[in-house]
C-alpha cells in the first residue's frame, strides 16, 4: 500500500527536524571547505560562496524554527542547499583544470552520499537533496571535454558519474529499508510488550476469580451444617482449583514453546478410543448449553496409530472448548477423515465446526497470535488466557501437522487440524487388574507444608502409614531407620534437593535402596524427566497433582517392582 500524503509529510518533517541538530556541523564544514578549496577555486570565489551558503543556513534556521514548516518550503530549502553546496567547486576546473575537476567530482560524490545517509526516512527529501548533485555530475563529462579530454576519457567520466548516481540510490534504498525494518521491529516489540503486560493483568484477574471462590468455599464448607451444602462447597473448591490448573498449564506450555523446550512423544494409541472419550466428555457440556453435538466420519478412521495422544487430546479439547464458548445456538460438529498415503501413513484431518457468530479476515489473522484475545470483551465474557489456539497450532506443527481456521461473519467457524500419523499394531496384551494395596508405608518429601498436607489428604485411607520430611537430608535420616514402600520426592528443596537425595539413597546400602521414588515436579520438560530417571527415580507426577494421577503412578511403580521381584526369583 503506497504511503499517504500525511505519512510523506511526516517523514519529510522528521528529516527536516534532524537537520536542525546538524546546523553547527554544516557551518564547520562550510568553513573547512572554504579554507581547503580556496586555493583551487580562488579566494574571492570561496569567500563569496561562504557568505552565500551562510545566508542560506540563516534563512533555513529561520524558516525551520517553526515546528511545522510548509512542505514546499522544506523541499525548496533542501534543493537550494544542494545547488549552492555543489556549485562551490565548479570554479575548480575553471581555475585549476583537471585537478580542479577531480576536486569537484569528489565534492559531488560526498554530497550524494550525505543525501543518501541523511534522508533515509523520506524519498521526497532524498530526491530534493540529491537531484542537484546528480545534475552536476551529468555536467562533468562536458566540463572534461571543455578542458581537452579525449572521447574515451570523457566516456569513462560519464560512466563513473552514472554509477555514482545509481550507487547512491542503492545506498539510500538499502538504508531506508533497514530503517523501515527497524521501525517495524520496534513497533512489533512494543506491541508485544504491551500485549504481554495486558496479558499479565488479565491472568492476574483470571487467577483471582478461582482463588476467591476457593476461599469462599472453604469458609462455607467449614460452617456448613448439612452434607449437601458441604458437598456443594467442595465442588466449588474443586472446579476453581481445576480452573487455576488450566491457567497455569497454559502459561507453562507457552513458556516452553517460547524457549524451544516443548516436545512431543510418538507412541502407539487407539485413535478411535481417544476420540470417543473426548466426545463423551464434551457431549454432556453441549447438551447443558442446548447445543447439538454431531460426530461425522468416525467409522472411516484407523484404530491404532502412532503419535502423541496427550497433545492431540489437548488440541481437541481447546478447539471444542472454544466452539462451546462462542456458540449460543445451533450445533458443534466434530468431523473426521483419514487418507492413506502410499508410504503406509495416514493423513488425519479433524475439523471442529460451530454455528457461532463467525469472524472477519482481520480477526482470523490475529487468532493464533500469543498474548492476544480477539477483543477485551472476549476475555471478559469468556475468560481464559487466550493462549489455547496459539499453543494448539504450535503443538500441531511440532507433530508435523498444522492448525488452520476458516470463517466469515454470521457463518460460524471451522478449525482444521491436519496430522500425518503412522499406523500401529493393536496392543492385545491385557494389563493386570489393579490389586488393592494394604499395609503400604509412604514417605512424602516436600519443603512446603501445604503440599505435605495435601498429599497426606489424598493418601490417607488408601495407605497404612504416612511419614513426611521437609528436605532431602531429613528424608535420608528417616529412610536409614524405617522401611517404606514408596517415596514421593519434590525436586526443589533447601539444604538438599530431590535429585541429590535420590542419588544418595541409591548409592548407600540400606532398607530403602531399591524403594520406588516418584518425582513431584512442576515441569514436564523431557530433559528434566531424563535427569530424574538417570538418578534413580522411577516415575514422575506433575504438580498440581490429581489424585487419580498420583494413585496411577503409585500403582505403576509397585507393579514394576513386583514384576522385577518375580523375574529375579
Residue 539 has pLDDT above 50, yes or no: yes
> Would you place residue 136 in the very low, low, confident or very high pLDDT band (cuts 50, 70, 90)?
confident
Q: Does some domain include residue 246? A: no
Q: What is the mean pLDDT of residues 374-387?
A: 51
All cell numbers assigned to 473: 537430608
Q: Which of 539, 528, 550, 538 is nearest to 262 (CA)?
A: 528
Chain-centroid distance, C-alpha 507: 43
Rounded Cα–Cα distance for residues 319 and 297 (Å): 18
DSSP assigned state of 299? G
Contact 41, 91 (CB under 8 A): yes
Is the separation of the CB atoms in 412 and 457 below 8 Å?
A: no
472 shares a domain with 417: no
C-alpha to C-alpha distance for 102 and 100, rounded to whole angstroms: 5
Per-residue pLDDT at 351: 93
pLDDT tens column, 37-95: 777 777 888 888 888 877 877 777 776 666 566 777 777 777 888 788 777 767 777 77
Residue 257 domain flag: no
Give residues with Cβ within 8 angstroms of 432, minimum separation 6: 559
* 525-551: average pLDDT: 83
What pairs with residue 403 in β-bridges? 417
CA nearest neighbour of 439 among 419, 466, 399, 458: 466
Instruction: Tell whether 277 and 381 lie within a shared domain.
Output: yes
Domain match, 419 and 503 both = no
How far apart are alpha carbons 141 and 137 in whole angstroms? 8
Enter the DSSP assignment of 342: T
- C-beta separation of 371 from 199 below 8 A: yes
**Which pLDDT belongs to residue 388?**
79
Among 95, 125, 149, where does a domain finish? 149
Does residue 306 lie within any of the structural domains? yes
Same domain? For 464 and 412 the reply is: no
Which residues fall within 8 angstroms of residue 251, CB to CB, at 6 or more apart?
203, 385, 387
What is the spatial distance between Cα 71 and Cα 57, in angstroms, rounded to a whole number? 17
CA dihedral defined by 404, 406, 412, 417, rounded to 10 degrees?
-30
- What domain count does the chain have? 3
- Indicate which CATH number applies to the domain containing 528: 3.40.50.2300
One domain for residues 359 and 460: no
Does residue 187 form part of some domain?
Answer: no
Q: What pLDDT score was predicted for residue 566? A: 52
277 and 413 part of one domain: yes
Q: Which residue has the higher pLDDT, 145 or 194?
A: 145
Residue 59 belongs to domain spanning: 5-149
Chosen domain end from 133, 149, 165 = 149
Q: Are residues 542 and 460 in the same domain?
A: yes
Alpha helical stretches, state H, 419-471 = 449-459
Amino acid at each position: 500500500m503506497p504511503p499517504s500524503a500525511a505519512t510523506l509529510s511526516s517523514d519529510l518533517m522528521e528529516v527536516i527536524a534532524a537537520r536542525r541538530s546538524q546546523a553547527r556541523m554544516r557551518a564547520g564544514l562550510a568553513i573547512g571547505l572554504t579554507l581547503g578549496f580556496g586555493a583551487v577555486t580562488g579566494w574571492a570565489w570561496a569567500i563569496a560562496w561562504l557568505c552565500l551558503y551562510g545566508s542560506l543556513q540563516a534563512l533555513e534556521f529561520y524558516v525551520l524554527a517553526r515546528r511545522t514548516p510548509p512542505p514546499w518550503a522544506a523541499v525548496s530549502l533542501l534543493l537550494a542547499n544542494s545547488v549552492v553546496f555543489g556549485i562551490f567547486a565548479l570554479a575548480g576546473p575553471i581555475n585549476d583544470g583537471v585537478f580542479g575537476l577531480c576536486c569537484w567530482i569528489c565534492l559531488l560524490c560526498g554530497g550524494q552520499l550525505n543525501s543518501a545517509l541523511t534522508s533515509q526516512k523520506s524519498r521526497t527529501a532524498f530526491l530534493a537533496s540529491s537531484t542537484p548533485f546528480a545534475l552536476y555530475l551529468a555536467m562533468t563529462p562536458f566540463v572534461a571535454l571543455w578542458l581537452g579530454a579525449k572521447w574515451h576519457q570523457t566516456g569513462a567520466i560519464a560512466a563513473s558519474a552514472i554509477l555514482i548516481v545509481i550507487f547512491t540510490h542503492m545506498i539510500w534504498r538499502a538504508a531506508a529499508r533497514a530503517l523501515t525494518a527497524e521501525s517495524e521491529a520496534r513497533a512489533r516489540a512494543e506491541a508485544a510488550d504491551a500485549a504481554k503486560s495486558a496479558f499479565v493483568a488479565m491472568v492476574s484477574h483470571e487467577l483471582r476469580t478461582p482463588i476467591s471462590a476457593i476461599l469462599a468455599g472453604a469458609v462455607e464448607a467449614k460452617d456448613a451444617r448439612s452434607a449437601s451444602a458441604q458437598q456443594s462447597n467442595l465442588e466449588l473448591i474443586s472446579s476453581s482449583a481445576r480452573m487455576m490448573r488450566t491457567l497455569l498449564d497454559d502459561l507453562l506450555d507457552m513458556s516452553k514453546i517460547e524457549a524451544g523446550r516443548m516436545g512431543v512423544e510418538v507412541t502407539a494409541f487407539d485413535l478411535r478410543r481417544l476420540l470417543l472419550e473426548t466426545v463423551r466428555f464434551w457431549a454432556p457440556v453441549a447438551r447443558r448449553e442446548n447445543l447439538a453435538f454431531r460426530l461425522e466420519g468416525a467409522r472411516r478412521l484407523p484404530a491404532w496409530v502412532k503419535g502423541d495422544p496427550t497433545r492431540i487430546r489437548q488440541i481437541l479439547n481447546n478447539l471444542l472448548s472454544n466452539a462451546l464458548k462462542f456458540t449460543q445456538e445451533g450445533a458443534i460438529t466434530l468431523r473426521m477423515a483419514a487418507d492413506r498415503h502410499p508410504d503406509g501413513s495416514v493423513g488425519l484431518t479433524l475439523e471442529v465446526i460451530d454455528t457461532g457468530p463467525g469472524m472477519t479476515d482481520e480477526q482470523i489473522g490475529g487468532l493464533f497470535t500469543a498474548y492476544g484475545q480477539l477483543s477485551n470483551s472476549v476475555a471478559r465474557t469468556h475468560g481464559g488466557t487466550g493462549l489455547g489456539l496459539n499453543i494448539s497450532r504450535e503443538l500441531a506443527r511440532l507433530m508435523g501437522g498444522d492448525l488452520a481456521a476458516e470463517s466469515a461473519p454470521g457463518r460460524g467457524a471451522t478449525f482444521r487440524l491436519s496430522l500425518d500419523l503412522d499406523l500401529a499394531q493393536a496392543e492385545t496384551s491385557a494389563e493386570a487388574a489393579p490389586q488393592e494395596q494394604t499395609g503400604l508405608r509412604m514417605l512424602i518429601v516436600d519443603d512446603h507444608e501445604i503440599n505435605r498436607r495435601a498429599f497426606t489428604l489424598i493418601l490417607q485411607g488408601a495407605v497404612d502409614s504416612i511419614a513426611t520430611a521437609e528436605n532431602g537430608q531429613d528424608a535420608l535420616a528417616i529412610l536409614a531407620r524405617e522401611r517404606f514402600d514408596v517415596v514421593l520426592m519434590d525436586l526443589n528443596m533447601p539444604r538438599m534437593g530431590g535429585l541429590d537425595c535420590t542419588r544418595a539413597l541409591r548409592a548407600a546400602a540400606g532398607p530403602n535402596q531399591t524403594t520406588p521414588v516418584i518425582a513431584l515436579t512442576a515441569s514436564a520438560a523431557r530433559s528434566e524427566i531424563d535427569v530424574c530417571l538417570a538418578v534413580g527415580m522411577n516415575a514422575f507426577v506433575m504438580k498440581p497433582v490429581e489424585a487419580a494421577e498420583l494413585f496411577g503412578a503409585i500403582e505403576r511403580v509397585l507393579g514394576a517392582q513386583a514384576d522385577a521381584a518375580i523375574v529375579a526369583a
